[in-house]
Structure formats: C-alpha cells, structure tokens
C-alpha cells in the first residue's frame, strides 16, 4: 500500500541517479462499478486501513473455509442418496 513516487519535475532529486523518490505515500484503492477509486492516506489512516484490511482477509478466509466445508458436506449427502431428513443427532 505504501509507495514512493517521482514527480516528473526536471532536476528534482527524484530524477537523480540514483533516484531519491518522494514518499512513502499511502494509497488505498478499490474498484467501484468498474472504476478504481484511490485515496491518499496519512500514516494514521494507513494504520487503520491496514487493520481493516487484515480483518477483511480473515473473514474471506473463513468464508472460503465454510464454502469448502459445505461443498464436502454436499458431496457426502449426495453419495448417501438425497436424504430428506436432517442428519441424525445423538438423541436418546
């Protein structure tokens, strides 16, 4: 998310050899209706966004895991021959 940029001004230090680029800048971008929207963030905002992104990744992993589990369960149920009753629980 953080990146260094060069500004394109002739003779600026970011054009030197080796280049000393400007930054780091934090940029957050997402696709909305086919367009990429980006925001420049300061360090504090970037820190916040980092934790939100980490949370979202964890949720996506959980959802993927649930999808795998339900796919496996579906396979099992199909092989058992389309049960109309829910699986039996240990009831006495």
Among 1, 7, 54, 73, binds Zn ion (CB under 5 A): 7
Contact call for residue 12 and Zn ion (CB under 5 A): yes
- Scanning 10-18, 26-34, 50-58, 78-86 for contacts with Zn ion by CB under 5 A, the matching segment is 10-18
Contact call for residue 46 and Zn ion (CB under 5 A): no
Number of residues that bind Zn ion (CB under 5 A): 3
**First-to-last C-alpha distance (Å) of the chain:** 57
Q: Closest approach of Cβ 11 to Zn ion, in Å?
A: 9
* Three-class DSSP category at 87: coil
Element (H, E) at 28: strand 22-32
Are 24 and 5 spatial neighbours (Cβ–Cβ below 8 Å)? no
- How far apart CA 5 and CA 29 sit, in angstroms, is 16
Interface residues toward Zn ion, by CB under 5 A: 7, 12, 14
């Amino acid at each position: 998310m953080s990146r260094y940029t060069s500004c394109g001004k002739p003779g600026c230090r970011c054009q030197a050899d080796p280049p000393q680029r400007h930054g780091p800048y934090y940029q957050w971008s997402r696709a909305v209706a086919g367009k990429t929207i980006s925001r420049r963030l300061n360090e504090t905002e970037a820190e916040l966004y980092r934790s939100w992104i980490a949370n979202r990744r964890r949720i996506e992993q959980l959802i993927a895991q649930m999808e795998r589990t339900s796919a496996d369960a579906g396979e099992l149920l199909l092989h058992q021959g389309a049960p109309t009753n829910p699986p039996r629980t240990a009831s006495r």
